């Protein structure tokens, strides 16, 4: 069992930056591929980014490429999402998730989820 706790969300103006963290407990994070997803009110959960266990393979949704960066520190059991040039349409609850095997972009592939952290971008 893996417990995931996100932090770092908040209110930021358009063009600003936030860094989200996802701290894991229960099992070593190095056993898992990790993903970030987001969900805005009335919308489906959306893929943001993913990283494999060794951090040498990352992927991003098209709208996040060049603005968001995913990284991980297995020694600290933590995954990060650096978000730059934020836009009002980035407003959502952001979730981190863990899965064994290869990283993926489909949320149903993931076995463990955090409770989410709210990101609000004002115009």
Over its length of 123 residues, how does the chain's per-residue pLDDT go in tens digits?
899 999 999 999 999 999 999 999 998 888 899 999 999 999 999 999 999 998 889 999 999 999 999 999 999 999 999 999 999 999 999 999 999 988 899 999 999 999 999 999 999
Gap between the Cα atoms of 41 and 2, Å rounded: 27
Gap between the Cα atoms of 16 and 90, Å rounded: 11
Q: Are 17 and 25 in contact (CB under 8 A)?
A: no
Gap between the Cα atoms of 68 and 111, Å rounded: 23
Q: How far is CA 40 from CA 27, 89, 92, 97, in A?
A: 30, 9, 4, 17
């Amino acid at each position: 069992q893996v417990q995931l706790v996100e932090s770092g969300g908040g209110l930021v103006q358009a063009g600003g930056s936030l860094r989200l963290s996802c701290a894991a407990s229960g099992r070593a994070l190095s056993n898992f591929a990790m993903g970030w997803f987001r969900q805005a009110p009335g919308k489906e959960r959306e893929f943001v980014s993913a990283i494999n266990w060794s951090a040498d393979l990352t992927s991003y949704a098209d709208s996040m490429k060049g603005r968001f960066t995913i990284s991980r520190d297995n020694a600290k059991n933590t995954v990060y999402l650096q978000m730059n040039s934020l836009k009002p349409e980035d407003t959502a609850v952001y979730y981190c998730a863990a899965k064994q095997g290869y990283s993926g972009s489909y949320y149903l592939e993931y076995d463990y989820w955090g409770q989410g952290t709210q990101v609000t971008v004002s115009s």
